[in-house]
Amino acid sequence: MPAPPVPASLQKSIDATKVEYVQLGKSGLRVSSPILGTMGIGSKEWQGWVMEEEEGMEVLKAAWDRGLNTWDTANVYSSGKNEEIVGKAIKKFNIPREKLVLLAKCYGTVPEEPGIFNWPFEAQMAKSRDYVNQG
C-alpha cells in the first residue's frame, strides 16, 4: 500500500526548515543542529562586541524562522539582559514555548549593573550584601 501524500502544512514546514534535528541523548528532546548561542545578544555595556536588543531580536527571529529550535543562554550573559531579550523574542514573535528548547546555564554572580563583567570581581561580590544569595 503506498504512503499517503504529505499534508500541505507539513510539507510547507519541511520546506522552510534549513537545519537538521538530532536526539539529545536519551532525553526525548530533538534539538536543532546547529544550536544558537546567544552570548552575543544583550548589552554593549557588558562587552563591546555584544549586539543590542533590536539587532539581537532580529537574529533570534531569523534563527527561529530557519528552524533553529535550540538556544543556549546563561544568567551571566550581559548581566541577565540576554535572558530578558530571549523572553521578549518568544513573546513578540509568538514562538510556541513547547517547540523551543532553551539551554540555560547558571554560573557565577550576576552583577546588578550591566557594565560590570563579573569574573574579575567574584571575590569582591562574595563580600557584598547585595550578592549574598548568588554565586
Let me know if 131 is a catalytic residue: no
d(CA 68, CA 64) in angstroms, rounded, equals 5
End-to-end CA distance of the chain: 61
Identity at 83, one-letter amino acid code = E
**Residue 91 burial (10 A CB sphere; 0-12, 13-18, 19+):** exposed
Catalytic residues: 77
